[in-house]
Structure 1
Amino acid sequence: MGSISAYQTTSGKRYRAMFRKPDHAQTQKHGFKTKREAELFLASVEIDKSRGAYIDPSKSRVLVGEWLDAWMDGRTDWRATSRERARGIVALHIKPSLGGYPLGSLTHVAVQAWAGGLSKTQSPSSVRKIVNVLSRSLQMAVKDGRLPANPAHGLNLPKVGKLSKRYLTHDEVRDLADAVDSLGKGMYRGERNNYGLMVKVLAYCGLRWGEASGLRVQDIDFVRGRLEVQHTIVEVDGVQLDSQPKDYEARSIPVPASILADLKFHVEGKEGGLPAFAAARGGWLRGRVFRRGWLDDAASMIGQDGLTPHELRHTAASLAISAGANVKAVQRMLGHASAAVTLDVYSDLFESDLDAVSAALEDAIVRSARSISQNKSASIPLPE
């Protein structure tokens, strides 16, 4: 169990506990006022070692800010946008308040107080995203033997209210596309760049902005009538990067025949590797440029102020479901990881399905009752 020795200080006698860590390296902890305190400490060390729960104090002295940097550097699985988002959260919201804490000194109470402070300036969903970054880094510290438990687990966080989504109708999509085409002058005119057609592609095919920007001419399969999502353009520190979508996001999307015909005319004569919808001066079209130059004003013209490209993706889900598409088809079109994700995001669009279920059940009840009645009538013998 180790050994205990006494030593003198200016404040009186103190005790030192000597013991071996799980790797058999000898270490010590001093400053105990009584021998009993030192004995209890040695006993707790032995219990932790036997349970595999021993935490090396030297490993838990690293500062939270330093650990966050090391954790982010080790996340080689992250995409560039995920890394940029995490670094922004760490720099703005975690390091200023918690970065100077040693890992071993970070308590559940301290983390709860920090999370509570975030609620004063951040939305509930933002608070949860920020806390999630800290929690994931601390969970890695637990796995690395630096913490006995994650102090960010089980926090009391603000509930996220369900936000209503905006869905455009077929007429509104058409009007928006026409408005986009009418804006701009010369080489920047929407019609010249066919940005109105891009609006229709977003609203009927459900591409994310990076996927639409990264769509190449060769990604349009006119034989099968599909868009092959194989690239996505991400922007990191103002630099556009050509990236590949996640496995479940790479997909083949059916295109309505009228839009496919317009696309064929639009890309005729263009090289396969060029963007299907390029910036006016060439290259990948940036989302903020499209919004500032065409979409924002066009949305105001049709009474949909503040409309975003992502809301056109919501519109694609709405129009597909209203046309009779089931949840699995919508999942594949949108590139969600699972149908459960689609149901969570667009549960409001499937409300009418509940009415259809009750109507189908009622129909079954009526048909069953009619069948029983007919069978009874057939079994009654006719009078001679």
Structure 2
Amino acid sequence: MEVSKRAGTFVPVSAARIQFQQLLDRHLELTAGLSENTLYQRRSVARKWLTPKWETWPVADITRNLVELWIEELNADGVGSGTIQKVYRLFNATLNHAVEDHLLQRNPARGVRLPRARPAQRHPYLTFDELAELNDAMGLRYRSLVTFLALTGLRFGEAAALRVSSIDLDGRLVHIDSAFKEVAGRLSEGDTKSHTIHTIAYPPILDAMMRELTSGRRGEDHIFRSPTSRGLRINTWRRRFWYPAIERITTRRAAESARTGQVPISFPDVTPHDLQHTAASLAIRAGAEVVAVARMLGHADSRMTLNTYAGLFTGDLTAVAETLQRDMSGSALDHALRSADLDRGFSP
């Protein structure tokens, strides 16, 4: 006991009998530097996944084997790997605090292997023609919003928070410093997802639209508003405007198919967030590099951009291969690779 006290690893018996929920509640009170949305998500994870399983468990009785079995159960029940990672991070952080407060000698969850992330599904990207079809189905009120999202890459909450003063019409620039978030049914304005302030440029084709959206309005006015002139809520907007527009497209295509006798071509299964993916795909197709696309999307790290859209940068690989071929032309290696002797070297 004396040795463990000197080493700082001694844990009183009374402390070891503390129940997990007490530690979890204490951990959730640590709110410094966290957004309201992050806090809400943490509490939701705790309420749905941690409390039902571990609420009354004495922390001293939680073993590594129990944690591993729990993770395996979640995976076997079909819980997504992303969700398991979120649940584990909060569980692990809670036990880490217990160690730091000398309520546990070691964290039994530390280093537990998690299920491998399932391969991400390919994002749907709209073409210019499909965007035109979507705009027509949206009607006049939000046609400009859909166009703006698809050509600039802003997130819905960022676009909803834009004010007239955010737009530099002469420079065709948009300054993004806040975003709307809906937390527990309440709309609030706060930092962007990446907690950064950034600036993007919009294409000249949007000049007339942006001037019309800002004309005669005060600097503090929001550019995109709800029918009641309040802030746009993504869930309400999706239900009242987005889904009906997609349904109109489906109906029109079915009618055209019946008229022509051809098999109907389904419209891509897209969400409002996929407009950001569309903007990225259009920018990459136009020749934008990874860093430029990352800045446009407000990614704090260009690695995130590359991981998300790696499959779209194949043009860069082709360009590298063609440059390599051009530089090698006429060299000794070029002659060797073209020679019959080298070909025979690969024969069985």
With normalisation by structure 2, the TM-score equals: 0.85
C-alpha spacing 1:149/1:356, structure 2 compared with 1 (3 Å): farther
Corresponding residue for 1:26?
none
Please tell me whether the aligned partners of residues 194 and 298 of structure 2 are also in contact (alpha carbons under 8 angstroms): no
- Pick the aligned partner of 1:337 from 297, 300, 303: 300
Corresponding residue for 1:128?
85
RMSD over equivalenced CA pairs, Å: 2.2
Mapped partners of 2:213, 2:303: distance in 1: 36
2:89 maps to 1:159: no
In the TM superposition, 1:72-91 aligns within 5 A as: 72-91=28-47
Please tell me whether the aligned partners of residues 194 and 299 of structure 2 are also in contact (alpha carbons under 8 angstroms): no
Please tell me whether the aligned partners of residues 57 and 104 of structure 1 are also in contact (alpha carbons under 8 angstroms): no
2:40 maps to 1:98: no
In the TM superposition, 1:7-46 aligns within 5 A as: 45-46=1-2
Please tell me whether the aligned partners of residues 166 and 176 of structure 2 are also in contact (alpha carbons under 8 angstroms): yes
Please tell me whether the aligned partners of residues 299 and 305 of structure 1 are also in contact (alpha carbons under 8 angstroms): no
In the TM superposition, 1:211-290 aligns within 5 A as: 211-245=158-192, 249-290=196-237
Unmatched tracts of structure 1, length 5 or more: 1-44, 182-190, 373-384
In the TM superposition, 1:305-344 aligns within 5 A as: 306-344=269-307
Mapped partners of 1:115, 1:272: distance in 2: 52
1:123-160 per-position Cα deviation (integer Å, ceiling 9, x unaligned): 22212221122112222222222223322222232222
1:182-215 per-position Cα deviation (integer Å, ceiling 9, x unaligned): xxxxxxxxx1x3x111111111111112111111
2:316 maps to 1:359: no
Corresponding residue for 1:174?
132
Mapped partners of 1:212, 1:369: distance in 2: 56
Mapped partners of 2:282, 2:273: distance in 1: 14
Please tell me whether the aligned partners of residues 173 and 200 of structure 2 are also in contact (alpha carbons under 8 angstroms): yes
Mapped partners of 1:128, 1:346: distance in 2: 22
Mapped partners of 2:197, 2:172: distance in 1: 16
Higher helix share: 2
Structure 1: which amino acid aligns with 2:273?
Answer: H
Mapped partners of 1:246, 1:362: distance in 2: 43
How many angstroms does 1:370 deviate by? 11
Mapped partners of 2:86, 2:334: distance in 1: 57
1:27-71 per-position Cα deviation (integer Å, ceiling 9, x unaligned): xxxxxxxxxxxxxxxxxx344334333334433332211111111
C-alpha spacing 1:274/1:197, structure 2 compared with 1 (3 Å): same
Higher strand share: 1
Mapped partners of 1:99, 1:58: distance in 2: 18
- Give the secondary-structure state (helix, strand or coil) at the position aligned to 1:346: helix
Please tell me whether the aligned partners of residues 221 and 227 of structure 1 are also in contact (alpha carbons under 8 angstroms): yes
Mapped partners of 1:357, 1:340: distance in 2: 20
- Give the secondary-structure state (helix, strand or coil) at the position aligned to 1:58: helix
Tell which structure's C-alpha radius of gyration is larger: 1
Please tell me whether the aligned partners of residues 174 and 200 of structure 2 are also in contact (alpha carbons under 8 angstroms): yes
Count residues with an aligned counterpart.
Answer: 318
Structure 2: which amino acid aligns with 1:214?
Answer: A
C-alpha spacing 1:62/1:371, structure 2 compared with 1 (3 Å): closer
Mapped partners of 1:313, 1:267: distance in 2: 23
Aligned structure 1 segments of 4 or more residues deviating by more than 6 angstroms: none
Please tell me whether the aligned partners of residues 99 and 107 of structure 2 are also in contact (alpha carbons under 8 angstroms): yes
With normalisation by structure 1, the TM-score equals: 0.77
| Higher relative contact order, structure no. (Cα contacts within 8 Å, ≥ 6 residues apart) | 2
